[in-house]
Amino acid sequence: MRAYLGCCLIAAGSLLLAACGGGGGDSEPATESETVPVSTKFTITVDTPPALTTAHTNGHTGLIARAYADAQANLAQANFAAVWLDKKGKVLEQIEITDWQEQSNGTYDISVGTRTRINAVMLIDLSSNPDIPIAPGEPIPNHVYLAPLTEERLTVSLKTTLAYHALIERVIQDESWGIFEALYDEPVRSRVFFFQEDLNRIADDLEATLLPKVGLQGMKLSDLLSLSIVKTMTQGRMERFVTEQAAAQANIQAILNDGYWEVSTFNDNSGSGILTEQMTYNDENTTTGETTIRELRWDKNGAEDIALSEVFTYLSGSTEFTNEDITRQILTSEGWVGLFDYLKVELATDKTLLLTDAALSRDDKVGITMDAKVYSLAEKKMHDFLSSEHNHHITRYIKADETFSEGAFGFYFTWRPESETYLLCDNRNGNTDCQVAPFGSPNSPYTELNGVLTELADAAISINGINGFAIADNVVVELINDNGFTARYWVNIAANNWSIQENSVWAPTTVAGKSMIRFDVPSVIRQLADQYKFEHENLFLVEDRSFVHIGETLLENQPFNYSGFDNNAKQQIFAAASRDNLPAFGVCNFGNGVGANPDLYLNAVTECGGDERFTQQTINDLIDQHLVQIDEEGVISTTILRSNNSWEHYIHGLNQGGSRSWSLTEQGYLKLIPDTANPDEFEYWALTSVDYNRSLLAVKAYGAQPEADLIFTLISKEYSPGSLAACSTQDSGWDSATTAPVTRKTLTQYQDQAALCKQIWEQRNPRFTQALLIGQSGDNSDDRALRFIGDSSRFLQLSDNFQGDFFLGNYVDSDGCGFNFPIRWQLEEDGTLYYEAVDGSMNERIAMTDTDGLGFAIKAFNHQARWQDDPDLQYTATDGEIWSDLITLIDAAAVPNVVPITEPINPPAEPPADGEPQGPVPGTILNDGQTCGFTEAQ
């Protein structure tokens, strides 16, 4: 057993084991109705995804996303019910709702016959015909939203429903409230508060890790809760929570002597990868009393598998930092001091550590104390313990059923500020990250604290013109300079309808000579906030460097938690993690269809994605590259990004023109605007998978269109300019002496070789189509001609004039004597272009084998009638020449009108001598490269 086990490990497989002993008895506590009658008014905001609501009531498609949640207004009392749960997590009895009042924008005042309790639950059915069956002894219905009545001001949302539902499922599984048994029996208010904080953290994790992976597609809430991914991830997160809560007290000094690891991932426009770091103290390989932090990193690079490299080692006794290493600031008695975010141990005992930042000393008295618990990870799923917002992305590289083996341990650390701590961003050198600006003037920050305050007479009556500042995308704080020091929280949770959702207080104070305004964001506002900008709820404003800045306050002894792994667990994680466990490259049709929106698109991207995304580097690498797509109908379209943020679009090699622009969004989407005059019509491209060996990109695309938005999938092949090459394998070669192929080939040999040369990728088959060759039938203006790169004076001019089974055209060459003779052509079933001279002198087949979107590689088979007539060659009708080339397509009207040089009226007087070649006159054969023999004869 490892030295850091402070006492025997608790088997955390069951909530029943709340401590080293077992759970409580089977007796039920008296319900509120059996004791003194009580009634508590709860103010409840119902904040749920509108698309999921629509799916429940009307059967429309929808999705889950916090940013698109809406307050549910206009509910009736019948939509609400409250129940007590028994000791096994099932319904005990209904609680009476004694009063019900609707406020506005989805907020309701509901008086309920209970005090705050962890087993008193509000149920909400959002349907227009609510039905909330209450059956004692049965589980809570699975079509209702849930929130425990643990606070008088609360939010009912999808994430709170998922979190509480996960808890109750675990209670039902264990038939006990386990670690919460005592709180179930005696609902001490302060402990109920901490219970809700734990539940909120679980809800936040589920929001960050689960919700982006779920698309509803017309789903009811009950259908959502039955999804295997929802069950797996909610059960897994609850398993981690239960295990951490039931862990044994550990010898933290022994943990640091061995070292512990944290694992995280990063993913943004600068790149993606994995970070892991080990912290040790008094390691046998270091100086006594030294703290060591080793940072290892893997940066995703193409198809390379995961391989960690050490990028930095911090040694508390010798590493020196500079001002360039400052990440944020802390307020000390000496003023603002820059932090480096590397901790060092100042004092260590078996139970507790005292740590400070590398920039500080123990005398600054702004360190942290830390203790730890330990638990065995043996036979537990890795996914369950890599389930935080910071590290869950690593699970994409680990098989879903992968478990830890014996000898792996996890740690649950609790740290507390040594004293009240004030943290501010690094605002030196003109950094504006934490400057505060009026909501309506984000580019004009406040310059003094008094400017943030609003006189009572000037308090806003609407969000327009408010003197307030944003702390989230949808939350604005207004500080009123009145006798009550009122802080009003304006929240937009209902389709751009701002309203005051909560009133709190602010307080002026002075700390270390700095004048400040402090305020604590209410929990309900944190729950309603979209993209909350801070880690904590306790905030302050301070005037510094000529501007007002906002920072965070950590209260003295306020507990914070994080998790870590021992050496064995870390080794097992990275032994199991591999890019080989990612889904195979291919088409992912999840989410495709019309009637889309950006949220549905996010879900589709997440579902179809591996570990790829567009970054600034990948975009730079794509500049000037040809991104080719071929659809089922054979339409060949090509996108080329240019370095000036313009792009070109080609269809069948023809530039479509227009003023086009591209940009890279924060989400890693490539945004393509086909007409800069209409910026509301655009496409998003999200990179979901790459086959590096074949230069293939899988893209989930979103089209914003006037009629209806669309989600679809693209597979694109990347070509470098000039990289397209003809496939010359098995080419016959040309003998200019005999004006015949060096090697005779058969039509069957050609067909076999053309098939081998064909570059088909993901069922995308480059081939000739009627639309490619002649555009719209009956319109000669869009007819095309093949221009041969190997002989740039030669053209195959096509038209959609029709005769019998063939279209008509001309074969034209301006070299030598030139020729311009009529042909008839047709497309064979496999997309091969067949044409023949009207006079029967030759026929040829041309198959497209590859394309970079602008040019086309071809494999051809030529047969000339004269080779059959030549007694020396003795060709059959299926013998001929295999050759290859590159072609481009041009307008048929651009082909020069060649007038061939013809044979003189008076032929040469001297006939050819015996033994001299008697073939065609020089300059009259395709690509013979000779001057015209008729001219020489004259």
Q: State the pLDDT confidence band at 21, using cuts at 50, 70 and 90.
A: very low
Q: State the pLDDT confidence band at 459, using cuts at 50, 70 and 90.
A: very high
The region that residue 419 occupies, defined by phi over 0 for left and psi between -120 and 50 for alpha, beta otherwise, is beta
For residues 648 and 674, the answer to whether their CB atoms sit within 8 Å is no
pLDDT tens profile 572-593: 999 999 999 999 998 999 889 9
From 40-49, 534-543, 850-859, the region with the lowest mean pLDDT: 40-49
Q: State the pLDDT confidence band at 61, using cuts at 50, 70 and 90.
A: very low
Taking the CA atoms of residue 733, residue 736, residue 739 and residue 744 in that order, the dihedral angle to the nearest 10 degrees is -20
Q: Is the pLDDT confidence value at 16 over 60?
A: no
Distance (Å, rounded) from C-alpha 782 to C-alpha 771?
9
**Letter for the amino acid at 35?**
T
Distance (Å, rounded) from C-alpha 507 to C-alpha 520?
10
CA distances from 919 to 736, 866, 900, 909, 928 (A): 10, 9, 19, 18, 12
Percentage, residues of the chain above pLDDT 70: 90
**Letter for the amino acid at 146?**
L
Q: Is the pLDDT confidence value at 475 over 90?
A: yes
- Over residues 268-279, the mean pLDDT reads 95
Q: Is the pLDDT confidence value at 438 over 60?
A: yes
Query: Maximum CA pair distance of the chain?
Result: 133
For residues 664 and 685, the answer to whether their CB atoms sit within 8 Å is no
Strands 453-455 and 475-481, sheet pairing: parallel
For residues 72 and 46, the answer to whether their CB atoms sit within 8 Å is yes
The residues, ordered by sequence, that sit 6+ positions from 879 with a Cβ below 8 Å of its Cβ are 744, 745, 746, 747, 863, 867, 868
Q: Is the pLDDT confidence value at 641 over 90?
A: yes
Which residue's structure tokens are 């400057």? Answer: 435
pLDDT at 64: 32
- Over residues 838-852, the mean pLDDT reads 96
Distance (Å, rounded) from C-alpha 855 to C-alpha 265?
42
What residues pair up with 371 in beta bridges, in sequence order? 414
pLDDT at 906: 64
Percentage, residues of the chain above pLDDT 90: 74
Count the helices and strands in the chain (H runs, E runs).
Answer: 16, 51
Distance (Å, rounded) from C-alpha 358 to C-alpha 343?
6
Structure tokens at 177: 């409230």
Q: Is the pLDDT confidence value at 934 over 90?
A: no
Distance (Å, rounded) from C-alpha 838 to C-alpha 235?
75
pLDDT tens profile 218-252: 568 888 888 888 999 999 999 999 999 999 999 99
CA distances from 396 to 146, 577, 601, 652 (A): 30, 8, 20, 38
Distance (Å, rounded) from C-alpha 8 to C-alpha 26?
26
Higher pLDDT: 869 or 648? It is 648
Query: Could you tell me where the DSSP H helices lie in 775-906?
Result: 865-869
For residues 226 and 143, the answer to whether their CB atoms sit within 8 Å is no
pLDDT tens profile 537-560: 999 999 999 999 999 999 999 999
For residues 699 and 852, the answer to whether their CB atoms sit within 8 Å is no
**Letter for the amino acid at 77?**
Q
Structure tokens at 8: 């025997």
pLDDT tens profile 145-166: 999 999 999 999 899 999 999 9
Q: State the pLDDT confidence band at 59, using cuts at 50, 70 and 90.
A: very low
pLDDT at 70: 53
Q: State the pLDDT confidence band at 828, using cuts at 50, 70 and 90.
A: very high
From 416-425, 462-471, 586-595, 917-926, the region with the lowest mean pLDDT: 917-926
pLDDT at 366: 95
DSSP string, 731-789: ---EETTTTEESS-EEHHHHHHHHHHH---BTTB-----HHHHHSSTT-GGG-EEEEEG
Q: Is the pLDDT confidence value at 690 over 60?
A: yes
Most confident of 328-337, 590-599, 736-745: 328-337
pLDDT at 49: 74
Distance (Å, rounded) from C-alpha 745 to C-alpha 755?
15
Which residue's structure tokens are 């643990």? Answer: 150
For residues 208 and 200, the answer to whether their CB atoms sit within 8 Å is no
For residues 931 and 816, the answer to whether their CB atoms sit within 8 Å is yes
For residues 533 and 471, the answer to whether their CB atoms sit within 8 Å is yes
DSSP letter for 381, please.
B
CA distances from 422 to 150, 208, 418, 520 (A): 30, 27, 12, 13
For residues 265 and 36, the answer to whether their CB atoms sit within 8 Å is no
Q: 389, 379, 304: which is closest to 578 by C-alpha?
A: 304
Q: Is the pLDDT confidence value at 917 over 70?
A: no
Phi and psi for 612 in degrees, rounded to 5?
-95, 155
The residues, ordered by sequence, that sit 6+ positions from 453 with a Cβ below 8 Å of its Cβ are 479, 480, 481, 517
Q: Is the pLDDT confidence value at 937 over 80?
A: no
pLDDT tens profile 755-810: 999 999 999 999 999 999 998 877 888 899 999 999 889 999 999 998 989 999 99
Q: What DSSP element (H or E) covers 70?
A: strand 70-71
Strands 682-691 and 696-704, sheet pairing: antiparallel
From 62-76, 374-388, 685-699, the region with the lowest mean pLDDT: 62-76
Which residue's structure tokens are 């709180």? Answer: 183
pLDDT at 553: 97
DSSP, collapsed to helix, strand or coil, labels residue 776 as coil
pLDDT tens profile 359-413: 999 999 999 999 999 999 999 999 999 999 899 999 999 999 999 999 999 999 9
pLDDT tens profile 703-745: 999 888 999 999 999 999 999 999 999 999 998 888 899 999 9
For residues 351 and 369, the answer to whether their CB atoms sit within 8 Å is no
- Work out the burial of residue 904: count CB atoms within 10 Å of its CB; fewer than 13 is exposed, 13-18 middle, 19 or more buried: exposed
Q: Is the pLDDT confidence value at 3 over 70?
A: no
Neighbours of 635 (CB within 10 A): 13
Task: Please report the beta strands in 720-832, taking only residues with DSSP state E, as ranges in sequence order.
Answer: 734-735, 740-741, 745-746, 784-788, 794-803, 806-813, 819-827
pLDDT at 287: 79
Q: Is the pLDDT confidence value at 630 over 70?
A: yes
DSSP letter for 763, please.
T
Q: 894, 886, 675, 858: which is closest to 782 by C-alpha?
A: 894
Query: To 10 degrees, what angle do helices 228-245 and 189-209 make?
Result: 140
Q: What DSSP element (H or E) covers 423?
A: strand 421-425
pLDDT tens profile 893-915: 999 999 988 877 766 555 555 55
pLDDT at 63: 33
For residues 219 and 55, the answer to whether their CB atoms sit within 8 Å is yes
Phi and psi for 203 in degrees, rounded to 5?
-60, -45
**Letter for the amino acid at 3?**
A
Phi and psi for 722 in degrees, rounded to 5?
80, 0
CA distances from 366 to 96, 118, 279, 421, 885 (A): 49, 35, 20, 7, 75
Distance (Å, rounded) from C-alpha 109 to C-alpha 102?
6
Which residue's structure tokens are 């005292």? Answer: 354
Mean pLDDT score across all residues of the chain = 89
DSSP, collapsed to helix, strand or coil, labels residue 547 as strand
Distance (Å, rounded) from C-alpha 848 to C-alpha 283?
66
